[in-house]
Structure 1
Amino acid sequence: MKSRFLKKSSIVFLISIFFFLFPALLSSDTGENSVLKSKISLDDEISVLKNDLTGKSGQTLNNIVKKLFKAHKKRIKLDLNDETAILDFVYDDLKYGEGKYAVFLLSELTESPKASLKLASLNLEPDRQGKKIRMKSFTKNPLVSFFRIISGKNSYRFEKTKVNGLIRKINEKELSNEDRIVLSDIKIELTGTSKTSAPVTEITVGEKQEAVTEPVKEEPPQAEIQ
């Protein structure tokens, strides 16, 4: 009798565990699928809104931009580690907005070579030199944004002196060929010189000929800000 009771108890216990764990696992999987669907939906919405901006101006343009930024913020909050989604918002804010969200996001992405490169480029823009911008931050916790404001960490001043620190930590191996060109242009602008040399010319000295290479100073091209 005791043995049968223990067997029944064990079976009931195992069944209870199954019915407890299975819904939990199912809900976890459902939750992940729900987040993924939300990401895809927001990505599609962002793409549509960008297309809608073509040829628009005035209040119509402003209304679409507001919707676009709202969608961007929702998308980022779904995954705060999605660098592609964050940089997508950065480029759109620099293009259609005031760059207040962009600078905040770039300054937060301290481990991203692309973010450091973009922030370095912004600090070199002549029109931004010495200017201070009040950043717009957004997080899942409103208190974080509040404490940033009262602690004075919500402002950023564009300065050429910050560029060396930004590019020093960039690993060129992690950059695309296009980004490497941008980095090279930034370094040239900082030094004011170019590695480019004029064609080799021969100068006759007595009976000997010496090859002389004359350095050519070039105006460095501005990094294109998207």
Structure 2
Amino acid sequence: MRILIVEDDPDLSRQLRAALKDIGYAVDVAEDGEEGHFLGDTEPYDAVILDLGLPLIDGVSVLQKWRSDGKKFPVMILTARDQWSEKVAGFDAGADDYLTKPFHTEELLARLRALLRRASGHTTDTIDLGELSVDNRSARAFVNGMAIKLTSHEFRLLSYMAAHQGRVISRTELVEHIYEQDYDRDSNTIEVFVGRLRRKIGTNRIETVRGLGYRLIDPDADEPGEK
């Protein structure tokens, strides 16, 4: 999963980025509303953490622009403003959640997981496909109850495919959702990661759909993607 943080406090943005990367997310950071709007407008994020009091363009205006342009990713507003009118303005602009500074990082992470669950149609942080279990809270995966060792990129790939289980996902889409903006992205590495995952979770859990991409399935289900 790929997250955008739009926050002008460099210490806070570094803290949030480190916390998010520690649990398996790819994270981009924008320091003002103009850059934040551009990234959200041009990159396919799974969720955005957005401050309101931003330089150049305020957070509410950024959010309004995204929504008017049809951007549907969930947005959590993060701000020092705690007046009810500010919260109403944020929700009316299209926010999905609102957290007031100061806050506990664990609460932010829990709220973010909830936004991602709702966006992908899941109800818990753990996604099960037969004997394979993907725990997005701990950034770990299990086969038959046994933890498997994954690199950060392998877990991001598996987590994204699990969130969209049963759907064919192109290499391009996978690249866009597991790499950060400044990373040297190469779609050929997706094949490498898929090969590694197959060796770790079982070769029959990831289907290759020629010319289209990959699909994560429960091999014991009657149909691909069926739980």
TM-score category of the 2 structures, normalised to the smaller one: under 0.3
Higher relative contact order (CA 8 A, sep 6+): 2
TM-score of the aligned structures, taking structure 2 as reference length? 0.21
- Structure exhibiting the larger radius of gyration computed from Cα positions: 1
